[in-house]
Structure 1
Amino acid sequence: MTTTTAVPNMRIVIIPAKTQEEIKKAEKCLKVAAYCRVSTDEEEQKNSYQAQIEYYTDKINKNPEWQMAGIFADEGITGTQAKKRPEFLKMIRLCRQGKIDVILTKSLSRFARNTVDSLNYIRELRTLGIAVISEKENINTLTAESEMLITIMSCFAQAESESISKNVAWGIRQSFKNGNVPMQYKKLLGYKKGADGNAEIVSDEAEIVKEIYRCYLDGASLNQIADMLNNRGLTTKGSNSPYRKEVIQRILTNEKYTGDALLQKTYITDCITKKSRKNNGELPMYLVKNHHEPIISRTDFNRVQEEMARRSAKRSIAEKLTKTEQGKYSAKYALSELLICGECGSHYRRVTWTAKGFKEIKWRCINRIQYGKKNCHSSPTIDEQALHKAIISAINEFCEVKDEVAKALRESITEVLDPNLNGSIQAAQQRIDELAHNIDELIKLATVPETAATAMADIEKFSEEMKTLREFIETEKAKQIAVQRGSAELDAILKRLEKEDFTMTEYNDVAVRQLIEKVTVESKNVITVAFKGGLEIRKELDIGD
């Protein structure tokens, strides 16, 4: 058995642990980098940017214990998001690769203005044994007491950034109030910045815009319009990329083509994430009317918006929710939304029948297809060829009398426009104001016992009259809007009738959409073609033997 004998005067000496910085100093020269950033492109800030680079280059090179690991600088770039600072991210990658030991920065606000980003990166660098030294705040992130100071300073930096962002947003909104319109000429098809600084129409681009609107109103889909432009070798303005339906939709919904400008359609929700959100009424919007020369009339622009709403409201054919399914919008076949069953009112659908190796195109009532004879007992199946021939015949007959039709349409426009309508609405509003004044006086009398009963009765009577007058005003205004829209549509039809020859030898979906309101299947032998403007022509179907 072995015994251990204690050595006299034995003592234990504690050798204190070295800091990461001391360890690296003992090993070799420290690889030192510097990070600089300015957040604006102003001349004064550019000078500061250059001065920071020169200062840190000189400081690192003068220290014999330091080895230059690089100067990383982001000029004129936001500090709230690291992902938008390429030099900063490059520096972090080198740190992870062990190529940097110390980072010098003027202030923590230069390092990052987002508290989360700042702390995450500093903690990651600390884990890697890399110090971030802030000269202004005199902080070395490898020291134990630095965590609280870093958190406090980063919060101050983020608060400053949020304050600056609010000031910038306030300035932009004041500019909007004054009617200052930012025009994105690089992306805005049809316009360029003129010599006087105002918007100037580019004629060849404007023709493309007009064609896009015209095709959409003629029934083309967004994809069809995009394909048409791409097939002609045209590309989008700015990016020179092929047209997509999203680009066409933006053109069709951009009010700037009417000469107006709607400002603050979107807003930034957070200065850190820079996330943009559509303004649904959270902030005021500003409509600057007649700001520049229009390419599209307001009437055509509004017609396009209504057509978009109408198409999007069409339900999928597959939905079996009602007894008279209306179907979805089809840009390919005009009759998909024009051909109506005379018995149940449902739309007809184009179907392909195959028998003995032969294919036939037919049109059948959607209600009959989906529910059989339960809701639609005797709707006929119509041969497409016979249907097209009858419609061609009706259109040609319409063209023979188009001058008389145009005259009748002009007379109908004159009849529906009531010149006294505004006067009637104004008189009703004046009467409402009088009644409101009388009620105010009656309320005083209602507090006196002797006159209270009579006053309350009169108040009730006047209130009912005011209610009736308000309903009248709302109804008449709605009629006025409907008449104006109808008049605009009739006027567009008139212009087409006067300028174009719609005489047909072959069936054409575009012409059918332009001229026809609906086609009703009366029986297996007869259809009624209702033209826009009111004229109806009955035609027999040539169904053969």
Structure 2
Amino acid sequence: MKKVTKIAEAANTKVKLKKIRVAAYCRVSTDSDAQLESLEAQKTHYETYITSRDDWEFAGLYYDEGITGTKKDKRPELMRLIGDCKAGRIDFIVTKSISRFSRNTTDCLELVRKLLDLNIPIFFEKENINTGSMESELFLAILSGMAESESVSISENSKWSIQKRFENGTFKCSYPPYGYDWDGEQMVINPEQAAVVKEIFAALLSGKGTHAIADDLNRRGVSSKRGGRWTATTIRGMLSNEKYVGDCLFQKTYSDSQFVRHNNHGEQTQYMVTEHHEPIISREDFEAARIFISQRASEKGVTKGTDKYQNRYAFSGKIICGECGDTFKRRIHSCTDHKYIAWCCNTHIKDKDRCHMLFVKDDALKQAFTTMLNKLIFSHRQILKPYLESLKTSSSDDSLHRIQQIQTLLAQNTEKRETLTMLMTQGIIDPVLYSQETNELLSQADSFRDEIEALKNEVSGDVNKVTETTALIHFAEKSAMLQEFDKDLFDRYVKRIIVHSRNDIRFELKCGLTLRERK
């Protein structure tokens, strides 16, 4: 008799491993066509490199164009990458080399340590270094130091070349001030802008202030150098610019050993070249303007370089009118027996019929801020912690997934254009059809990039809110109640103030909350 034995199926021993979310970072230090082509090649390489591995999940591509590698805080995409790491969206980072990541040893080690604290290693392809498997930072420090030394050497060579051109008067001002154009060899007068420059000097010498001059130019729709609005600061800079009398002062600024740029107040040698180009303003008018500005500053007790000159008031530029949307201006009001500081809507000052917002006393704003912050300190568990949790739960996973989809579509778009180019060069398709199809693909690519940028801003905003809320909670947990207004705390946590009335003041915090104080 046949005997049948049932053999049960073996348990599935395969365990589905969680994919590692891998992001890539790349950078080029100039925005030249050749460097940007290099950046495109890096982007294509990393998209293919990451998506080709089954155990890796593409977590995004971060790239900085035309930005120095010597200072980490000058690279927005690198900072966004770090922010996304803190938000828990990335597990592993791939980059081309240490020099692409950072040419500053201190910054490089600081970033590596910060990411390792988050359990996120970095793989440097060129050096074949994986920071997650390193027993010591010594090798990384040596290679990073070499990258920094190379950057310093290049910088010093460039400085030496510029210095020699300063000394022999051959340095070219390829970006001239308002009133001049660059013809490829020298500065030449722009007649239309030169007329505005002469008008500015004439207005000042007739007794008009720099704010009034700027307001008049804006009212008439006169375009500034970069097409923006005129400000009193811009006007003051023009009135002290020696280029308008035909001279050039070289080395007005300099970079220190940490690659930080400073105004040159005698720390470095300067070079004055007289009669460098055709003047717009006579030397007599230029000197008269300098004396006039100096006298006005003396009357107000303001000396350039002092704390009073350099420090802005706490609320400057941060108070918004709830009625018309304009900013508030600081003014001194007088009563019968005393004076006090008040903040007034700029529109109301110019035309009371256009905005009816009344002024708010400086002391009232300071008291309102102090009260608001004390309430947060007292009840941060009931306000800030639930808000932080809601920010974390409303994650940006959908946005990140959409960004990845669009980046894939963008890569496919590039492949299609390359295919069209190949077909056209081989004579397979007509040049007219090639031009029509390529233009459509380029337009589609631009739309993809615009959508990616919008999604990146949305994701970045959520990360910033989480970071700012966490910082505010840490402060509230440790701080005692405030007894008086603290300017540093205001600058740290407040984005702006919206005044709806003297009795309704709202503080828009950097963490995204808007809190109302009523009197």
TM-score by length of structure 1 reads 0.48
Partner AA of 1:39 in structure 2: S
Selected match of 1:157 from 116, 141, 147: 147
> Is 1:215 paired with 2:203?
yes
C-alpha contact 2:175 2:182 (8 A) present in aligned 1? no
| 1:184 equivalenced with 2:171 (yes/no) | no
Instruction: Give the corresponding residue for 2:112.
Output: 122
Partner of 2:239: 252
- Alignment deviations for residues 401-453 of structure 1 (CA, whole Å, 9 cap, x no partner): xxxxxxxxxxxxxxxxxxxxxxxxxxxxxxxxxxxxxxxxxxxxxxxxxxxxx
Selected match of 1:268 from 241, 251, 255: 255
What is the DSSP-based 3-state SS (H/G/I as helix, E as strand, rest coil) of the residue aligned with 1:142? Answer: helix
SS in 1 for 2:267: coil
Asked if 1:300 is matched to 2:285, the reply is yes
Q: State the alpha-carbon separation in 1 of the partners of residues 33 and 218 from structure 2.
A: 44
CA distance in 1: counterparts of 2:234 and 2:33, whole angstroms = 37
Relative to structure 1, the CA distance from residue 131 to residue 190 in structure 2 (aligned partners, 3 Å threshold; closer, same or farther) is: same
Aligned with 2:114: secondary structure? helix
Residue 258 of structure 1, CA deviation = 0.9
1:53 aligns with 2:43: yes
For 2:166 and 2:155, locate their aligned partners in 1 and report how far apart those are by CA, in whole Å.
17
Check 1:98–1:232 CA distance in 2 against 1; reply closer, same or farther (3 A cut): closer
1:29–1:65 Cα contact (<8 Å) kept: yes
> Could you say if the C-alpha distance between residues 183 and 62 of structure 1 is closer, same or farther in structure 2, counting changes exceeding 3 Å?
closer
Within a 5 Å distance, the mapping from 1:431-446 to structure 2 comes to: none
Contact 2:173 2:187 in 1 (8 A): no
Instruction: Give CA deviations for 1:215-239 in whole Å, capped at 9, x if unaligned.
Output: 3223333334334434444343314
Aligned partners of 1:162 and 1:271 also within 8 Å:
no
Q: Which amino acid in structure 2 is aligned with residue 201 of structure 1?
A: I
Aligned residues: 289
Contact 1:179 1:288 in 2 (8 A): no
2:110 maps to amino acid: N
Contact 1:181 1:263 in 2 (8 A): no
The answer to whether residue 262 in structure 2 is matched with residue 277 in structure 1 is yes
Relative to 1, partners in 2 of residues 1:57 and 1:224: Cα closer, same or farther, differing over 3 Å?
closer
- Cα distance in 1 for partners of 2:33, 2:225 equals 32
Q: Quick one: structure 1 residues 90 and 310, their matched pair in 2 at CA, closer, same or farther if it must change by over 3 Å?
A: closer
**Distance in 2 separating the partners of 1:306 and 1:166:** 38
- Distance (Å, rounded) in 1 between the aligned partners of 2:35 and 2:214: 45
1:240 aligns with 2:228: yes
- Say if 1:105 and 1:133, in contact at 8 Å, map to a contact too: yes
Partner residue of 1:84? 74
Give per-residue Cα distances to partners, 1:153-192, cap 9 Å, x unaligned: 222222222222222222222232333231434xx33222
Q: 1:132 to 1:172 in 2, by over 3 A?
A: same
Matched, 1:135 2:122: no
TM-score (norm 2): 0.50
Deviation of the 1:257 alpha carbon? 0.9
Report the residue type matching 1:152 in the other structure: I
Instruction: Give the counterpart letter for 2:55 in structure 1.
Output: E
Secondary structure of 2:192's aligned partner = helix
Tell me which of 155, 173, 190 is aligned to 2:163.
Answer: 173
Q: What's the CA shift string for 1:461-503, capped at 9, x where partnerless?
A: xxxxxxxxxxxxxxxxxxxxxxxxxxxxxxxxxxxxxxxxxxx
Greater shift, 229-238 or 167-176, is seen at: 229-238
Q: In structure 2, what is the Cα distance between the partners aligned to 1:134 and 1:233?
A: 52
Contact kept in structure 1, 2:162 and 2:171, CA below 8 Å: no
The SS at the match of 1:283 is coil
Tell me the distance in 2 between the aligned counterparts of 1:65 and 1:231: 61
Contact 1:139 1:146 in 2 (8 A): no
- Give distance in 1, aligned partners of 2:250 and 2:90: 48
Shift of 1:132: 0.7
Question: Whole-Å Cα distance in 1 between the matches of residues 144 and 61 of structure 2?
Answer: 22
Q: Following the alignment from structure 1 to structure 2, what is the Cα–Cα distance between the partners of residues 94 and 228?
A: 45
* Aligned residue type for 1:262: L
CA distance in 2, matches of 1:111, 1:105: 7
CA separation in 2, counterparts of 1:203 and 1:92? 49
Using the TM superposition, give the Cα deviation of residue 89 of structure 1 relative to its aligned residue in structure 2, in angstroms.
Answer: 2.6
Specify the SS of the correspondent of 2:81.
helix
Give per-residue Cα distances to partners, 1:226-281, cap 9 Å, x unaligned: 3443444434331421x332222111111111112111112122444x3x322222
Identify the residue that residue 190 of structure 2 maps to in structure 1. 202
Indicate the percent of aligned positions where both proteins have the same amino acid. Answer: 42
Query: Structure 1 204/113 Cα, relative in aligned 2: closer, same or farther at 3 Å?
Result: same
State how far apart, in whole Å, the 2-side matches of 1:226 and 1:91 are. 40
Contact 1:165/1:271 (8 A) holds in 2: no
Q: How does 1:479-498 map to 2 (within 5 A)?
A: none
CA distance in 2, matches of 1:124, 1:94: 13
2 CA distance for matches of 1:227 and 1:57?
Answer: 50
Q: Deviations over 1:279-332 (max 9, x none)?
A: 22222222222222211111221222233334434476xxxxxxxxxxxxxxxx
Shift of the 94–292 alpha-carbon distance from structure 1 to 2, 3 Å rule, reads same
SS of the residue 2:132 aligns to: coil
Q: Superposition RMSD on alpha carbons, in Å? A: 3.0
- Alignment-mate amino acid for residue 184 of structure 1: Y
Q: Deviations over 1:374-402 (max 9, x none)?
A: xxxxxxxxxxxxxxxxxxxxxxxxxxxxx
CA distance in 2: counterparts of 1:33 and 1:193, whole angstroms: 42
Question: Following the alignment from structure 1 to structure 2, what is the Cα–Cα distance between the partners of residues 88 and 150?
Answer: 19
Q: Distance between the aligned counterparts of 2:141 and 2:234, measured in 1?
A: 45
1:43 positional shift:
5.0
* Local SS of the residue matching 1:172: helix
Tell me the equivalent position of 2:90.
Answer: 100
CA positional deviation for 1:128: 2.0
Change (3 A) 1:224 1:75: closer
Q: Which runs of 5+ in 1 are unaligned?
A: 1-24, 317-351, 355-545
Q: Which has the larger radius of gyration?
A: 1
Going from structure 1 to structure 2, the CA distance change for 1:138 and 1:237 (only over 3 Å counts) comes to closer
